[in-house]
Chains A and B, each alone.
Chain A
């Protein structure tokens, strides 16, 4: 038996590095970060929906207070989330650039057989969502909204008022809805893609996953969109100005 005919398999210096720099590995990184972001979106929606509990949306004030009760955890989570965002964005942009390079010349006739518009606009929808997010964070989380300094009857930061009053501005609610639309598009492809990338898509389950993902994405978006709609429609009311009390000095700082 000749030694030359023994195939030794691929040699890679570091298995982990080889994985994350491979095409499929990068997809996994994008998928894992995407999946975490989907979980965050879910949690975020659950938090937002507390605005419907109690009068004047004070459910969300209680929720916000609970969140701020342990700053270490909150900042840890925020830091983690930022990292996940950065990883997701950098990985997917790398993928996009590589993909461009892999197809240097386009066809003269553009034909689309079965790819969805959601799939083909992932980079665009992702970037618009990103700009929306920056605005969103600055507005609501970083306290740059003109309505960020109100306090409710129990002296908590009146998050509900900040949200509802902001949405009374049609530009704000309009931009918010646009952001949601694009996020919905992004998730429409993103959620089912996570299943495909993780290898959870079977031949028979593929349809179910595809439609399930569409349903979940747009259900989520409806949930988010209900808040600006309810605000503008007057279903969500703000604590009247005359009943508002001044904050106690010990109240948690805005953040």
Chain B
């Protein structure tokens, strides 16, 4: 198959970039999208041009390193990450735009590589259960209903790739934050610090400069892990209740 690529090239340290036109010829239809980029990069190298930088690692859709926006859709069309996208999904001769994730809080490092450390800092602000290794009770001492465990798992499945924020016209990180708040808040082990967690994580999210949620649900549509936007609703509620409780405690 042949494709006409328009790939975003941006030099390190510069705030600006441009699209480079590249022809991807004779690409096997069974190749994955990233393998197509590998082929293009190999040819660029052979031609003496610097290859395109892009983040990728596990190539099985779970590490969350992929951060390509393909034809305007973060992680490309269909469910799953860019590495799980196969060229047979495209038409022969198609023009494909490849852009980095465009979110204010994810500055572009180079070409298609962005800096998503904002997500790490949000987790650092409370996305954990404070427990000390070595003193946990027996794992079966606290039963967790299957439905609760399953629902928590739906949220825990988040791969932290940032596609949610990248798809959001507002550059909002709500789905990512809500997934962690939902996952830990649903489980009995996470309840003791649920209030503090949601307030801390939301405060950090705001500090990082992510946008606000306008309930577009683009995040949910592109999420490779299929995290439902219902978790955002849950976080809205949790946050308000946590703030109310905090206000009462502060005055009491």
Q: Measuring CB to CB, which residues of chain A are less than 8 angstroms from any residue of chain B?
A: 7, 9-10, 12, 15-16, 18-19, 22-28, 95, 98-99, 101-115, 119-120, 122, 189, 192-193, 195-203, 206
Contacts and interface: CB of A to CB of B under 8 A. Distances in A.
Contact of A15 (B212, B218, B229, B246): B246
B99 A108 contact: yes
B7 to A, nearest CB: 11
Contacts of B103: 102-103
B102 interface: yes
A104 B104 CA distance: 6
Contact of A196 (B69, B102, B236): B236
A193 B216 CA distance: 9
A200 B237 CA distance: 8
A203 B196 contact: no
A24 to B, nearest CB: 5
Contacts of A197: 215, 233, 236
Nearest to B124: A7
B236 A28 contact: yes
A109 B97 contact: yes
Contact of A99 (B105, B171, B230): B171
B73 to A, nearest CB: 5
A103 B173 CA distance: 12
26 contacts: A15-B247, A15-B250, A16-B243, A24-B236, A27-B213, A27-B236, A99-B171, A101-B104, A102-B171, A102-B211, A103-B211, A107-B72, A109-B71, A113-B221, A114-B220, A119-B215, A120-B169, A120-B216, A196-B236, A198-B236, A198-B237, A199-B233, A199-B240, A201-B229, A201-B230, A206-B230
B231 to A, nearest CB: 8
A109 B5 CA distance: 13
B233 A202 contact: yes
Nearest to B242: A19
Nearest to A203: B230
Contacts of B206: 22-23
Interface of B: 6, 19, 69, 71-73, 97, 99, 102-105, 125-126, 130, 167-172, 174, 193, 196, 199-200, 202-206, 209-218, 220-222, 228-230, 232-240, 243, 246-247, 250
Given A103-B170, A107-B72, A95 B212 contact: yes
Given A103-B169, A113-B221, A19 B232 contact: no
A114 B234 CA distance: 20
A10 B125 contact: yes
Given A102-B170, A102-B209, A103-B211, A199 B238 contact: yes
B236 A189 contact: no
Contacts of B73: 111, 113
A147 B237 CA distance: 48
Contacts of B69: 107
Contacts of A18: 199, 203, 243
A10 B126 contact: yes
A192 to B, nearest CB: 7
Contacts of A199: 233-238, 240
Nearest to B238: A199
A202 to B, nearest CB: 6
